[in-house]
């Protein structure tokens, strides 16, 4: 994880350009920070005399172009810091050298000094503002620091290092967080929470604890409190939910659990912060397919950067969970998927059982409600007019009787029908278990989504690596075949004509040169 910053080095007041360059380079090349210069590298200059070489190029620039320096920028510094324990000093110096080479495109001399005196290894890269041919100067363009940071991220990803995931502007946290301003009522509520924590026996003892803390109590139709420095009394009923006299008495009696409004706010804000801070994983974009669908070059550039970010997130995800191989990642993802499926099956089974119990409970209630009507119908000798008058009630009883018969047939004839109270108890138990299982299922499903996306991303990375290896192997085989064909053409009698024919078959310049050389050799033999 590299934090990169581009800094313009100016001329200090009262010092010459040579003195300023010497001061900056001497600090970077400090022997105590680089282990006696062990971790110092340079490009197009000598690390020991780089300040003098930088100054010479500036004088040559003035001589060649006839221009004088319009500003006081004499060089630029790149600070590149790495995550503690993630990288060695040798590799850090190599990463810094590669970053500087790509950023300057090899047109500026620079030195790379890796400091190891801190807990985190970091690079001090100083490059000359004047180009090597002394005809141009580096232009600190707009958002050059952002371009450097993205380039550094690409280099770190190539070296299997983690990168900083930059959030959109709307999700970034402010550097300064001001404390929440509390009102007088909030202070009183905090004092009541502290007093309740001491487990008072009754409301009078609660008031005594508050008075010991310096609060003044006013009894009457509307009891109120006033703290030190407060101008007015605050009634208990105006403090909010859970702080009225009646609610506090219920809490003291143990009938109700007290809920602090500050704990609720803290819990909500913490949950919101967790949502914003979570790094969401997304599937990689098939850039080739999108380009074939009509997308432009701008979309392709954005998609490539997006894919790099998702790869970095996947690598960080594996590092956070201690996953070191694709096999471990797949095993973990499969385990979470199986757990999610098991929880879902449990929820569905509870829902089926609850539905059956609801139907059975309804039939039991209808059977009890229609008891008197059926008794009267039986006493009338099953009179048809009575049946027509009470058709609905008797139909409910008949449906209940069929349901009871089906229940006994399924569970055994000796199985007694459950009571309504038993059904209610079991239904409540199943409902609580369903809620708990469903909440766990939602969490597991969200976790499973991250694992499956990370697995897919790593799979795509491995597939791309395998494809590149196959392409490289194919190129090597093709070159070997071409060389063999060329040697065979040289040994044949018609080697010259065959060589010229072979030249037209291959488009690669190297192959053409190889065959032309064989033709020349044939002519010399002739």
pLDDT tier, 489 (very low <50, low <70, confident <90, very high otherwise): low
Question: Does the pLDDT of residue 315 top 70, yes or no?
Answer: yes
The token pair at 337 is 């998927």
Share of the chain above pLDDT 90, in %: 23
Mean pLDDT computed over 205-220: 88
Which residues make Cβ contacts (< 8 Å) with residue 194, sequence separation at least 6? 213
Which residues make Cβ contacts (< 8 Å) with residue 44, sequence separation at least 6? 106, 108, 109, 110, 132
The phi, psi pair for 525, rounded to 5°, reads -65, -40
Query: In terms of Cα–Cα distance, which of 164, 79, 139, 142 is closest to 115?
Result: 79
| Cα torsion 379, 385, 389, 391: sign | positive
Q: 200 near 224, Cβ under 8 Å? A: no
What does the alpha-carbon distance between residue 235 and residue 217 come to, in Å, rounded to a whole number?
10
Class of domain 3-164: alpha beta
More confident of the two residues 78 and 476: 78
Mean pLDDT computed over 487-495: 52
Against a cut of 0.75, is the pTM above it?
no
Mean pLDDT of the chain: 82
The token pair at 75 is 């060089």
Residue burial 486-523, b: 16+ Cβ < 10 Å; e: rest: beebbeeeebbebbeebbeeeeeeebeebbeebbeebe
pLDDT tier, 270 (very low <50, low <70, confident <90, very high otherwise): very low
pLDDT tier, 280 (very low <50, low <70, confident <90, very high otherwise): low
What does the alpha-carbon distance between residue 22 and residue 205 come to, in Å, rounded to a whole number?
75
Question: Does the pLDDT of residue 401 top 60, yes or no?
Answer: yes
β-partners of residue 6 are 78
Question: Does the pLDDT of residue 492 top 80, yes or no?
Answer: no
Q: How does pLDDT run across 168-177, given as a tens digit for each residue?
A: 666 666 655 6
Query: In terms of Cα–Cα distance, which of 317, 321, 269 is closest to 456?
Result: 317
The phi, psi pair for 241, rounded to 5°, reads -65, 130
Q: 264 near 209, Cβ under 8 Å? A: no
Q: How does pLDDT run across 85-140, given as a tens digit for each residue?
A: 889 999 999 999 999 999 999 999 999 999 999 889 999 999 999 999 999 999 88
More confident of the two residues 208 and 268: 208
More confident of the two residues 230 and 482: 230
- Determine the pLDDT at residue 172: 61
- Determine the pLDDT at residue 79: 95
Q: How does pLDDT run across 157-171, given as a tens digit for each residue?
A: 888 888 887 766 666
Question: Does the pLDDT of residue 44 top 50, yes or no?
Answer: yes
Q: How does pLDDT run across 194-204, given as a tens digit for each residue?
A: 888 888 888 88
């Amino acid at each position: 994880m590299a934090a990169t910053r581009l800094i313009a080095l100016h001329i200090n007041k009262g010092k010459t350009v040579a003195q300023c360059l010497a001061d900056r380079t001497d600090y970077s090349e400090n022997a105590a920070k680089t282990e006696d210069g062990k971790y110092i590298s340079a490009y197009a200059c000598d690390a020991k005399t780089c300040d003098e070489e930088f100054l010479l190029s500036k004088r040559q620039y003035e001589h060649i172009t006839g221009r004088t320096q319009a500003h006081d920028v004499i060089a630029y510094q790149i600070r590149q810091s790495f995550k503690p324990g993630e990288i060695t000093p040798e590799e850090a110096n190599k990463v810094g050298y590669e970053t500087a080479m790509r950023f300057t495109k090899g047109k500026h001399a620079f030195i790379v000094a890796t400091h190891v005196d801190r807990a985190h290894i970091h690079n001090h890269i100083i490059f000359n503002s004047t180009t090597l041919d002394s005809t141009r100067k580096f232009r600190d363009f707009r958002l050059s620091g952002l371009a450097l940071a993205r380039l550094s991220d690409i280099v770190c990803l190539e070296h299997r290092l983690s990168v900083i995931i930059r959030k959109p502007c709307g999700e970034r946290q402010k550097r300064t967080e001001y404390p929440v301003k509390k009102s007088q009522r909030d202070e009183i509520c905090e004092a009541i929470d502290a007093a309740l924590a001491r487990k008072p026996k009754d409301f009078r003892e609660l008031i005594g604890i508050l008075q010991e803390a310096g609060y003044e109590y006013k009894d009457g139709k509307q009891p109120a409190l006033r703290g030190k420095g407060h101008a007015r009394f605050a009634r208990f009923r105006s403090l909010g939910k859970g702080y009225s006299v009646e609610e506090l008495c219920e809490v003291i009696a143990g009938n109700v659990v007290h809920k602090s409004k500050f704990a609720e706010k803290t819990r909500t804000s913490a949950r919101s912060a967790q949502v914003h801070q979570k790094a969401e994983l997304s599937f990689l974009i098939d850039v080739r397919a999108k380009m074939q669908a009509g997308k432009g070059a701008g979309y392709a550039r954005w998609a490539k950067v997006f894919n790099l970010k998702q790869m970095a997130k996947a690598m960080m995800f594996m590092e956070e969970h201690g996953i070191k191989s694709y096999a471990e990642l797949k095993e973990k993802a499969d385990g979470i998927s199986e757990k999610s499926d098991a929880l879902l099956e449990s929820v569905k089974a509870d829902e089926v059982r609850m539905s059956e119990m609801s139907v059975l409970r309804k039939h039991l209630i209808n059977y009890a409600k229609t008891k008197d009507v059926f008794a009267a119908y039986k006493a009338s000798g099953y009179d048809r007019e009575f049946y027509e008058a009470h058709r609905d009630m008797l139909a409910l009883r008949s449906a209940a009787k069929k349901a009871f018969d089906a229940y006994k047939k399924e569970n055994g004839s000796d199985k007694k029908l459950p009571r309504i109270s038993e059904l209610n108890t079991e239904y409540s138990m199943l409902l609580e278990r369903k809620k708990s299982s469903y909440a766990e299922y939602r969490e597991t499903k969200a976790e499973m989504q991250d694992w499956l996306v990370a697995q897919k991303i790593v799979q795509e990375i491995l597939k791309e690596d395998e494809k590149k290896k196959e392409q490289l192997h194919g190129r090597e085989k093709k070159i070997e075949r071409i060389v063999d064909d060329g040697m065979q053409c040289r040994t044949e009698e018609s080697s010259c004509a065959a060589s010229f024919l072979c030249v037209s078959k291959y488009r690669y310049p190297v192959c053409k040169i190889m065959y032309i050389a064989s033709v020349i050799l044939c002519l010399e033999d002739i």
